[in-house]
């Protein structure tokens, strides 16, 4: 989303320090949430017993889950504040072609990319963010808000049932659980495979940690963006 | 005891009679190896559990009692148990025949709670309404007495709250399996039974051990909720804890609708998760194959 600053012709800064920091904190928070949450959901399993014992019981599991929830949602809030700053002060575009805003072009890209999987079409010329990166981001961004909301229902059921029927707590529980399964199944498998473990990037994609990417990678992965920088 | 001393004196040095010694040895070995308290037999002959396991009994909370303290002299009229004429005299299902008023002698408060509780009410109704029908009821459908839930001979004392609670969930679950299963699927059951959190609620924390309240009455339910959730309101009592329609009266339309709604949302979410995860797993897998293919082709 930021305009690219050129360090040398060969190196580009893809992620700002704030974005890298938020990614690190969300990574830790999300993992903590998954481990503590699933230890409770699957509490009859031996590994859940082990983990609950390690942290000191069900009460501590619940406390840690809420702790990780607060720091993870804190990142969402910081990100939202930054989006406002980016839009209002830096006069950036949060819906333009360089943004993470979903477009019709992403659907077209997806079908073309899938054509490439079967050797029928070439790799689409991706802009700054590809369709799967947009999906990763939007799924997490929306997911954290819905998980946060259902999580609040489960955190303060006494408060929410003063104006909502009691069954909403049960529905929040179901939504929280299935969304957690969805998020873990996507982030711990699809996200890691597509960003790190694919033959193109294996063994690790460092861009999100040091912010740097090379001209060669830009040409291969984000040619549209490179074109717009070097116009 | 006197007979014992007489035998002992006969056997001691100075007494040379072989037959008496043999008799003494036989008596002693029978006393040591034979059943210790045959009066405590409770099930018809030939079935397991005929005799009380004295080792376990001695380790139980009642282990210091003599048999007579609870069972009296085992007489009806002039006939005494065991009766050589009638092998089934005073034998039968102890849960139905034992006079549980004797428990009242030591356990007065809980006995009184039981008498005003739901289990005792149902028992009274079953025994009085159609008087002959009661005996025909299968054992599992008869309302429980003390002995159905508590083992009088093997009950353990000084158990922790969690140990008692874990036993309780399986005891209550023998007659209320759907309730026990749904409790274990609920946060309360997971924290209390699975993770041993003593602050979480077991069956009796809400329903009362001896009152056995169904909590269908919203005011009763609210009192129960408020023990741990002091800020609870009437809406809070409508949170579904036992997510099942089993044993639910036909006219409880509200809970039936809630259970159905939870089920519908669960099914929809499952479909959503399977579709999204299925698509992206397939997407990533085929992508991997394509990139592997490209790499290998480059190496050639």
Does residue A25 belong to any structural domain of this protein?
A: yes
The answer to whether residue A87 is domain-embedded is yes
Question: Is the residue at A152 inside a domain?
Answer: no
Residue A219: pLDDT band by 50, 70, 90 thresholds? Answer: confident
Strand order of the sheet with strand A11-13? A6-8, A11-13, A212-214
What pLDDT score was predicted for residue B11? Answer: 55
B258: chain A residues, CB-CB within 8 Å: 166-167, 170
Nearest-Cα residue of chain A relative to residue B255: A167
Residue A135 has pLDDT above 50, yes or no: yes
Pull the structure tokens for residue B259: 């259970």
A-chain CB neighbours of B287 within 8 Å are: 117, 194, 198
Q: CA–CA separation, A205 vs A209, rounded Å?
A: 8
B106-136 as b/e: b if 16+ CB within 10 A: ebeebbebbeebbbbeebeebbeeeeeebee
Task: For residue B118, give how far its alpha carbon lies from the nearest alpha carbon of chain A (Å).
Answer: 26
> pLDDT (tens digit, 9 = 90+) per residue, A1-42?
455 554 446 888 999 999 999 999 999 999 999 999 999 999
Predicted confidence at residue B43, as pLDDT, reads 39
Give the structural domain span for A43: 17-92
Task: Give how far the C-alpha of residue B234 lies from the chain's centroid of Cα atoms, to the nearest Å.
Answer: 31
8 Å CB contact of A178 and B269: yes
Q: At what angle do helices A131-155 and A167-185 cross, to 10 degrees?
A: 150
In a domain, A147, yes or no: no
pLDDT of residue B37: 39
Give A178's contacts in chain B (Cβ within 8 Å): 266, 269-270, 272-273
A206 found inside a domain: no
Helix residue ranges, H only, chain A: 17-41, 46-55, 58-88, 104-117, 131-155, 157-160, 167-185, 192, 207-210, 215-221, 223-229
- Local confidence band at A109 (pLDDT 50, 70, 90 cut-offs): very high
3-state secondary structure chain B: CHHHHHHHHHHCCCCCCHHHHHHHHHHHHHHHHCCCCHHHCCCCCCCCCCCCCHHHHHHCCCCCCCHHHHHCCCEECCEECCCCCCCCCCCCCHHHHCCHHHHHHCCHHHHHHHHHCHHHHHHHHHHHCCCCHHHHCCHHHCCCCHHHHCCCCCCCCCCCHHHHHHHHHHHHHHHCHHHHHHHHCCHHHHHHHHCCCCCCCCHHHHHCCCCCCCCCCHHHHHHHHHCCCCCCCHHHHHCCCCCCCCCCCCCCHHHHHHHHHHHHHHHHHHHHHHHHHHHHHHHHHHHHHHHHHHHHHHHC
Of B294, B211, B286, the C-alpha closest to A110 is B286
Chains A, B: CB pairs < 8 Å:
129
Express each pLDDT in A175-215 by its tens digit.
Answer: 999 999 999 999 999 999 998 988 888 888 889 999 999 88
Are B273 and A181 a contacting pair at CB < 8 A? yes
Residue A192 lies in a domain: no
Distance from CA of A104 to the nearest CA of B (A): 19
Q: How many domains is chain A partitioned into structurally? A: 1
Distance between CA B179 and CA B243 in Å, rounded?
A: 8
Measured in angstroms, the CA of B230 and the nearest CA of chain A are apart by: 9
Report the run of H or E that residue A212 belongs to, with start and end: strand A212-214
| CA B115 and chain centroid, separation | 19
Q: Which candidate, A122, A60, A163, places its Cα nearest to that of B196?
A: A60
Query: For residue A103, how many other CB atoms are within 10 A of its CB?
Result: 15
> What pLDDT shows up at residue B90?
72
Answer whether residue A52 is part of any domain: yes
Q: Do B265 and A169 touch (CB under 8 A)?
A: no
Residue whose pair of structure tokens reads 């116009």 in the numeric block: A231
Give the H or E element holding residue A13: strand A11-13
For A132, nearest residue in chain B (alpha carbons): B280
Two structure tokens written together for B49: 């559990």
Residues of chain A contacting residue B231, judged by C-beta atoms under 8 Å apart = 158-159
Q: Cβ separation of A198 and B291 shorter than 8 Å?
A: yes
Residue A191 CB partners (closer than 8 Å, separation 6+): A136
A172 Cβ under 8 Å from any chain B Cβ: no
Contacts B160 to A, Cβ<8 Å: none
pLDDT in tens, chain B (300 residues): 566 666 656 555 554 566 666 666 666 665 555 444 333 444 334 344 567 888 889 999 999 998 888 888 777 777 777 777 777 777 777 778 788 888 999 999 999 999 999 999 998 888 887 767 787 888 888 889 998 899 888 988 899 999 999 999 999 999 999 999 999 999 999 999 999 999 999 999 999 989 999 898 899 999 999 999 999 999 999 999 999 998 888 888 989 999 999 999 999 999 999 999 999 999 999 999 999 998 888 876
What is residue A12's three-state secondary structure? strand
The secondary structure element, H or E, covering residue A8 is: strand A6-8
Chain A interface includes B262 (CB < 8 A): yes
CA distance B180 to chain A (A): 14
CB–CB contact A190 B240 (8 Å)? no
Predicted confidence (pLDDT) per residue in A51-107, tens digit: 999 999 899 999 999 999 999 999 999 999 999 999 999 998 888 888 999 999 999
């Amino acid at each position: 989303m930021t305009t690219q600053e050129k360090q040398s012709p060969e190196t580009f800064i893809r992620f700002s320090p704030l974005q890298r920091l938020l990614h690190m904190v969300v990574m830790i928070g999300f993992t903590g949430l998954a481990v503590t949450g699933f230890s409770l959901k699957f509490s009859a399993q031996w590994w859940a017993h082990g983990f609950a014992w390690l942290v000191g019981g069900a009460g501590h599991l619940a406390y840690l889950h809420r702790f990780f929830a607060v720091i993870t949602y804190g990142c969402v809030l910081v990100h939202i504040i930054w989006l406002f700053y980016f839009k209002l002060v830096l006069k950036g575009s949060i819906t333009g072609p360089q943004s993470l805003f979903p477009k019709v072009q992403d659907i077209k890209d997806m079908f073309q990319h899938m054509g490439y999987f079967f050797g029928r079409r070439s790799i689409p010329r991706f802009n700054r963010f590809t369709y799967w990166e947009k999906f990763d981001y939007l799924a997490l961004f929306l997911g954290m808000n819905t998980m946060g909301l259902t999580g609040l229902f489960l955190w303060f059921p006494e408060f929410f049932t003063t104006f909502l029927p009691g069954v909403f707590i049960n529905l929040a529980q179901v939504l929280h659980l299935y969304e957690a399964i969805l998020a873990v199944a996507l982030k711990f498998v699809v996200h890691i495979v597509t960003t790190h473990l694919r033959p193109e990037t294996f063994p690790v994609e460092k861009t999100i940690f040091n912010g740097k990417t090379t001209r060669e990678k830009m040409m291969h992965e984000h040619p549209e963006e490179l074109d717009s920088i070097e116009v | 005891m006197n007979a014992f001393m007489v035998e002992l004196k006969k056997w001691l040095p100075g007494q040379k009679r072989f037959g008496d010694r043999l008799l003494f040895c036989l008596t002693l070995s029978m006393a040591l190896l034979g059943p210790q308290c045959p009066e405590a037999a409770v099930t018809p002959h030939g079935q397991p559990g005929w005799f009380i396991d004295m080792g376990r009994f001695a380790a139980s909370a009642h282990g210091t009692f003599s048999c007579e303290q609870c069972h009296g002299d085992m007489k009806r009229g002039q006939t005494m148990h065991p009766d050589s004429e009638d092998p089934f005299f005073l034998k039968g299902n102890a849960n139905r025949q034992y006079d549980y008023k004797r428990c009242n002698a030591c356990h007065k408060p809980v006995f009184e709670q039981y008498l005003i509780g739901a289990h005792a009410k149902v028992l009274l109704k079953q025994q009085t309404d159609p008087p002959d029908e009661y005996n025909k009821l299968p054992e599992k459908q008869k309302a429980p007495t003390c002995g159905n839930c508590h083992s009088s001979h093997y009950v353990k004392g000084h158990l922790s709250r969690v140990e008692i609670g874990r036993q309780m969930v399986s005891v209550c679950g023998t007659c209320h399996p759907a309730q026990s299963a749904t409790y274990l699927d609920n946060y309360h059951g997971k924290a209390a039974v699975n993770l041993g959190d003593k602050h979480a609620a077991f069956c009796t924390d809400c329903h009362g051990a001896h009152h056995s309240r169904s909590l269908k009455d919203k005011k009763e339910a609210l009192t129960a909720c408020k023990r741990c959730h002091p800020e609870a309101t009437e809406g809070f009592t409508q949170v579904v804890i036992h997510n099942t329609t089993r044993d639910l009266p036909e006219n409880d339309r509200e809970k039936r609708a809630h259970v159905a709604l939870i089920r519908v949302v669960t099914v929809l979410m499952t479909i959503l998760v399977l579709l999204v995860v299925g698509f992206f797993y397939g997407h990533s897998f085929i992508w991997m194959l394509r990139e592997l293919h490209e790499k290998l082709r480059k190496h050639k």
